[in-house]
């Protein structure tokens, strides 16, 4: 038996439902009418809607055919009974003898024992289950493919009703529907700060409101035209130029999907059921999402994102809406939510209206994270699935220091975070008061604090923090943000501006540190099994001397008439420093031949990031003017734990004997040879770690601007001599403890050192 003989067929049903959606009645009356229409049209004796609540129970919200008293009374757990099974698997279930199914669970209050056949579909949105829609018949019948599809289409209408919050008004008192429930999510801490505001999706979803088609042939044409246009667009991007780098792979995947027969067939079949092209894209995508989300294979899950992006492109193509939210229409208190995003895109938004940033796919070391930190935008990264868990305009709170995200928070949670934000602001004011206080320990030891920077916007932090110098200027950021290799003049202009804004102090420019995770989209890349151990930083600079020489020339010209400091990253052998130095000398000779003004003094230094240098310290310190420890990389190589892989990056504590012994050795040898040793990795910016570093002999630390206040406050409260004795004692112990953190923390707390 099929619906072909049903009164009016699916088209008429969808039209009726559209009328019901527009009627000015309350949510319960609307749902009641919907189930009546469905049952009548599909010649079913029963039609019921179950909605998933925040406590993960499915509540019967409306029924035609079951006992009315059961509405808002009958509930079941997700996974329990046939309805629960559909919610859990997010897949339709069609049975001609439901009671014989092992998952069947009998509910006497509904009176459903007389029904044998059963068809249920999940109500999905963004791949998440919001509820279940069911029809039942007493005869043993087999539902047709067409009926399943019609029911899935109706489920989309219901998804919109649920997600909009309309049904929240009729849920059983005290309960909450899942789609609007508060959610607490954990990600990685990317940029400090607490932000309260409302969700702005960087790539807003197209909300498909027109689900029922007026003219199916026209919809098939629209679908065909849009797919053609999208394909042409992708082909053009691929043909445009050969330097797409990483993007090429993504686009190739897009092209593969866009030509995928199965995908195209499913889209056309969906349109043939009487829905619009947009609704078809959403429905097919919902199914794909539900299927792929359960995949554990990371490769397949990655494909889900590609497929999502493609469906999104197609929806935008169909509706003519812009793919990216127009940055100029940003509301106040915006918290931007993005799957991933390029650093340039972030810079386009109005900073004054941005209260925070949440990223699904990008972590601490992504380029956008670096820019967010520079701009002081509280940011949380690696938040799984966030883009499908929020709706545009939802209230949201983020804590960038703890890596926490609260979606649709309850009032008490919101109050707690407001308090946190207030405390933070108060603390910032206290740091502000320390701005002009020199960083001297209680026993009179002066510590030189400087800041890390990489963008011109960073320079403003010199004023705010009161430090005079930039201890690490990451020159690669300009390269990472630019659409193509910055030319000599552009490099020169940036370096000049940076030097102009630091008249009192010095700037240590680090030459290009690209490769590894720092990829230039326009530079040809090579597939590397282990990019962190691959062709990067000075290795590229020495192999492509043209690149390095251009940069050195720009630096030397920018430093005309003043002191210039240049530092080389990832030096492994002292001979690499010698080779780099030769390039500097050649550039100096070239510039003076052409009558350029030169810096009054050029100091050359090396970053200690590769363990091999620890056994060349004598010859290294003899050659260089200064060294700076890049503890981010040095620790990752010492412990063989990828700094960007969350599974291992927190496995070992930097405050352990082996790391502190290695770092201590560098400080001692530096002091003995009279060569300046500083440290510019992230650990220098954490008060407890900074205390330990001072204890093992560090006198200069360079850190992100936000860390200056907290580290200075700790320095002012500590006694360096006492700390040195404690740390020396702890690292000399032979008990094999994996961490000294507990003892150091206990000491600091006992002495009132603020952490």
List interacting residues with Mg ion (CB under 5 A). 609, 630, 633
How far is C-alpha 217 from the geometric centre of its chain's CA atoms? 41
Give the nearest distance from C-beta 482 to ligand PEP in angstroms.
Answer: 18
Residue 515 contacts ligand PEP per CB under 6 A: no
Rounded distance between C-alpha atoms, residue 129 and residue 132, angstroms: 8
Beta carbon nearer to ligand PEP, 74 or 704: 704
Q: Give the binding range for ligand PEP (CB under 6 A) out of 134-142, 308-316, 402-410, 628-636.
A: 628-636
Give the nearest distance from C-beta 638 to ligand PEP in angstroms.
Answer: 12
DSSP code at position 400 = T
- C-alpha R_g of the chain: 31
Residue 491 binding target from Mg ion, ligand PEP, none, CB below 5 to 8 Å by type: none
Residue 743 binding target from ligand PEP, Mg ion, none, CB below 5 to 8 Å by type: none
Active-site choice (37, 47, 202, 680):
680
Residue 92 contacts ligand PEP per CB under 6 A: no
Residue 513 contacts ligand PEP per CB under 6 A: yes
Residue 632 contacts ligand PEP per CB under 6 A: yes
Q: Is 640 exposed, middle or buried (0-12, 13-18, 19+ CB in 10 A)?
A: exposed
Beta carbon nearer to ligand PEP, 632 or 668: 632
Judged by CB under 6 A, the residue of 474, 565, 686, 699 near ligand PEP is: 474
Contacts of 22 (CB under 8 A, 6+ apart): none
Beta carbon nearer to ligand PEP, 147 or 633: 633
Q: How far is CA 93 from CA 96, 179, 271, 618, in A?
A: 10, 22, 22, 73
Q: Give the binding range for ligand PEP (CB under 6 A) out of 49-57, 125-133, 479-487, 627-635.
A: 627-635
Residue 195 binding target from Mg ion, ligand PEP, none, CB below 5 to 8 Å by type: none
Helical segments of 513-573, H only: 538-543, 545-558
Give the nearest distance from C-beta 569 to Mg ion in angstroms.
Answer: 6
Give the nearest distance from C-beta 449 to ligand PEP in angstroms.
Answer: 15
Pairing of strands 354-359, 334-338: parallel
Q: How far is CA 754 from CA 37, 431, 447, 716, in A?
A: 67, 12, 17, 10
Judged by CB under 6 A, the residue of 458, 587, 633, 689 near ligand PEP is: 633
Q: Give the binding range for ligand PEP (CB under 6 A) out of 57-65, 314-322, 329-337, 625-633.
A: 625-633
Q: Among 475, 438, 457, 465, which Cα is nearest to 565's?
A: 475
Residue 478 contacts ligand PEP per CB under 6 A: no
What stretches of 479-531 adopt beta strand conformation (E)?
507-510
Residue 319 binding target from Mg ion, ligand PEP, none, CB below 5 to 8 Å by type: none
Pairing of strands 404-407, 395-399: antiparallel
Pairing of strands 404-407, 128-137: unpaired
Q: Give the binding range for ligand PEP (CB under 6 A) out of 245-253, 341-349, 585-593, 631-639.
A: 631-639
Q: Among 211, 204, 387, 218, which Cα is nearest to 283's?
A: 211
Residue 474 binding target from Mg ion, ligand PEP, none, CB below 5 to 8 Å by type: ligand PEP
Q: How far is CA 402 from CA 191, 351, 631, in A?
A: 9, 22, 22
Residue 609 contacts ligand PEP per CB under 6 A: yes
Beta carbon nearer to ligand PEP, 382 or 609: 609
Rounded distance between C-alpha atoms, residue 499 and residue 558, angstroms: 8
Residue 630 contacts ligand PEP per CB under 6 A: yes
Comparing every residue's Cβ against Mg ion, the nearest one is 633
- Interface residues for ligand PEP in 662-721 (CB under 6 A)? 680-681
Pairing of strands 188-191, 75-77: unpaired
Residue 211 binding target from Mg ion, ligand PEP, none, CB below 5 to 8 Å by type: none
Query: How many positions of this chain bind ligand PEP (CB under 6 A)?
Result: 10
Q: Give the binding range for ligand PEP (CB under 6 A) out of 7-15, 340-348, 545-553, 624-632.
A: 624-632
Q: How far is CA 235 from CA 230, 302, 560, 686, in A?
A: 9, 22, 48, 48
Beta carbon nearer to ligand PEP, 84 or 630: 630
Beta carbon nearer to ligand PEP, 408 or 518: 518
Give the nearest distance from C-beta 301 to ligand PEP in angstroms.
Answer: 28
Task: Return the sign of the alpha-carbon dihedral for residues 191, 250, 313, 211.
Answer: negative
Residue 680 binding target from ligand PEP, Mg ion, none, CB below 5 to 8 Å by type: ligand PEP
- Interface residues for ligand PEP in 256-315 (CB under 6 A)? none
656 is catalytic: no
680 is catalytic: yes
| Number of other CB atoms surrounding residue 670 within 10 Å | 24
Beta carbon nearer to Mg ion, 629 or 723: 629
Q: Which residue has the tokens 């056949």?
A: 117
Beta carbon nearer to ligand PEP, 150 or 655: 655
Give the nearest distance from C-beta 634 to ligand PEP in angstroms.
Answer: 7
Q: Among 374, 400, 401, which Cα is nearest to 461's?
A: 374
Give the nearest distance from C-beta 630 to Mg ion in angstroms.
Answer: 4
What track of x and - describes contact with ligand PEP for positions 404 through 443 (by CB under 6 A)? ----------------------------------------
Beta carbon nearer to Mg ion, 309 or 633: 633
Give the nearest distance from C-beta 327 to ligand PEP in angstroms.
Answer: 28
Token pair belonging to 253: 């995947």
Rounded distance between C-alpha atoms, residue 119 and residue 95, angstroms: 6
Active-site choice (37, 202, 367, 461):
367
Beta carbon nearer to Mg ion, 187 or 630: 630
Give the nearest distance from C-beta 410 to ligand PEP in angstroms.
Answer: 38
Q: Is 555 exposed, middle or buried (0-12, 13-18, 19+ CB in 10 A)?
A: buried
What track of x and - describes contact with ligand PEP for positions 552 through 591 (by CB under 6 A)? ----------------------------------------
Helical segments of 141-260, H only: 145-163, 216-240, 246-258
As beta bridge partners, residue 677 has 627
Q: How far is CA 278 from CA 159, 213, 503, in A?
A: 15, 10, 58
CB-based contact 745:659 (threshold 8 Å): no
Classify 77 as helix, strand or coil. strand
Contacts of 347 (CB under 8 A, 6+ apart): 371, 375, 481
Give the nearest distance from C-beta 685 to ligand PEP in angstroms.
Answer: 11
Beta carbon nearer to ligand PEP, 86 or 638: 638
Give the nearest distance from C-beta 18 to ligand PEP in angstroms.
Answer: 56
Pairing of strands 507-510, 334-338: unpaired
What is the set of active-site residues?
367, 680
Q: Where on the chain is the footprint of ligand PEP (CB under 6 A)? A: 472, 474, 513, 609, 630-633, 680-681
């Amino acid at each position: 038996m099929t619906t072909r003989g049903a009164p009016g067929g699916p088209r008429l049903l969808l039209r009726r439902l559209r009328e019901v959606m527009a009627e000015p009645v309350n949510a319960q009356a609307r749902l009641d009418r919907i189930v009546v229409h469905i049952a009548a049209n599909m010649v079913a004796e029963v039609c019921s809607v179950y909605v998933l609540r925040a406590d993960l129970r499915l509540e019967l919200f409306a029924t035609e055919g079951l006992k009315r008293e059961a509405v808002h009374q009958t509930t079941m757990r997700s996974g329990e009974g046939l309805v629960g099974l559909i919610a859990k698997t997010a897949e339709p279930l069609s049975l001609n003898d439901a009671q014989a199914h092992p998952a069947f669970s009998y509910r006497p209050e509904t009176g459903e024992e007389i029904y044998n056949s059963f068809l249920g579909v999940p109500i999905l949105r963004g791949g998440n289950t919001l509820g279940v829609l069911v029809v039942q018949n007493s005869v043993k019948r087999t539902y047709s493919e067409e009926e399943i599809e019609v029911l899935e289409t109706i489920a989309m209408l219901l998804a919109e009703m649920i997600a909009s919050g309309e049904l929240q008004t009729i849920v059983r008192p005290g309960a909450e529907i899942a789609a609007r429930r508060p959610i607490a999510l954990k990600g990685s801490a990317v940029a400090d700060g607490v932000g309260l505001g409302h969700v702005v999706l960087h790539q807003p979803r197209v909300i498909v409101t027109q689900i029922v088609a007026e003219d199916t042939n026209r919809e098939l044409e629209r679908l065909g035209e849009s797919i053609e246009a999208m394909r042409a667009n992708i082909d053009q991007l691929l043909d445009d130029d050969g330097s797409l780098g990483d993007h090429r792979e993504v686009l190739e995947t897009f092209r593969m999907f866009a030509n995928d027969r199965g995908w195209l067939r499913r889209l056309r079949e969906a349109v043939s059921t009487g829905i619009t092209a947009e609704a078809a894209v959403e429905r097919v995508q919902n199914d794909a999402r539900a299927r792929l989300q359960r995949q554990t294979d990371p490769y397949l899950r990655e494909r889900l994102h590609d497929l999502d992006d493609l469906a999104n492109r197609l929806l935008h193509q169909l509706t003519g809406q812009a793919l990216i939210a127009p940055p100029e229409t940003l509301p106040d208190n915006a918290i931007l939510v993005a799957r991933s995003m390029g650093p340039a895109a972030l810079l386009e938004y109005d900073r004054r209206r941005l209260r925070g940033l949440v990223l699904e796919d990008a972590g601490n070391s992504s380029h956008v994270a670096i820019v967010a930190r520079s701009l002081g935008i509280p940011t949380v990264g690696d938040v799984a699935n966030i883009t499908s868990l929020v709706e545009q305009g939802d209230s949201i709170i983020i804590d960038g220091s703890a890596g926490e995200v609260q979606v649709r928070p309850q009032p008490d949670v919101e109050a707690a975070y407001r308090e946190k934000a207030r405390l933070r602001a108060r603390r910032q004011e206290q740091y502000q008061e320390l701005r002009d206080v020199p960083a001297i320990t209680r026993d009179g030891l002066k510590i030189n604090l400087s800041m890390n920077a990489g963008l011109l916007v960073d320079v403003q932090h010199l004023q705010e923090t009161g430090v005079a110098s930039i201890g690490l200027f990451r020159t690669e950021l300009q390269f990472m943000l630019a659409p193509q290799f910055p030319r000599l003049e552009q490099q020169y202009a940036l370096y000049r501006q940076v030097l102009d804004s630091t008249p009192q102090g010095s700037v240590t420019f680090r030459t290009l540190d690209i490769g590894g995770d720092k990829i230039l989209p326009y530079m040809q890349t090579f597939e590397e099994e282990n990019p962190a151990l691959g062709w990067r930083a000075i290795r590229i600079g020495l192999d492509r001397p043209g690149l390095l020489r251009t940069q050195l020339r720009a630096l030397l010209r920018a430093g005309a008439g003043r002191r210039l400091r240049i530092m080389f990253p990832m030096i492994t052998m002292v001979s690499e420093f010698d080779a780099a130095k030769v390039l500097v000398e050649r550039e100096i000779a070239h510039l003076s031949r052409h009558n350029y003004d030169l810096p009054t003094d050029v100091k050359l230094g090396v970053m200690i990031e590769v363990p091999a240098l620890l056994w060349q310290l004598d010859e290294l310190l003899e050659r260089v003017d200064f060294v700076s420890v890049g503890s981010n990389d040095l620790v990752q190589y010492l412990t063989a734990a990828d700094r960007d892989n969350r599974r291992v990056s927190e496995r070992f504590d930097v405050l352990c004997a082996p790391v502190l012994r290695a770092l201590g050795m560098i400080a001692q040898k530096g002091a003995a040879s009279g060569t300046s040793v500083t440290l510019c990795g992230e650990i220098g910016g954490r008060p407890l770690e900074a205390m330990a570093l001072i204890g093992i002999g560090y006198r200069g630390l360079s850190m992100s601007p936000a860390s200056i206040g907290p580290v200075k406050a700790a320095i002012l409260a500590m006694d360096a001599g006492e700390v040195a004795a404690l740390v020396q004692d702890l690292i000399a112990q032979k008990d094999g403890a994996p961490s000294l953190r507990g003892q150091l923390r206990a000491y600091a707390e006992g002495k009132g050192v603020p952490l």
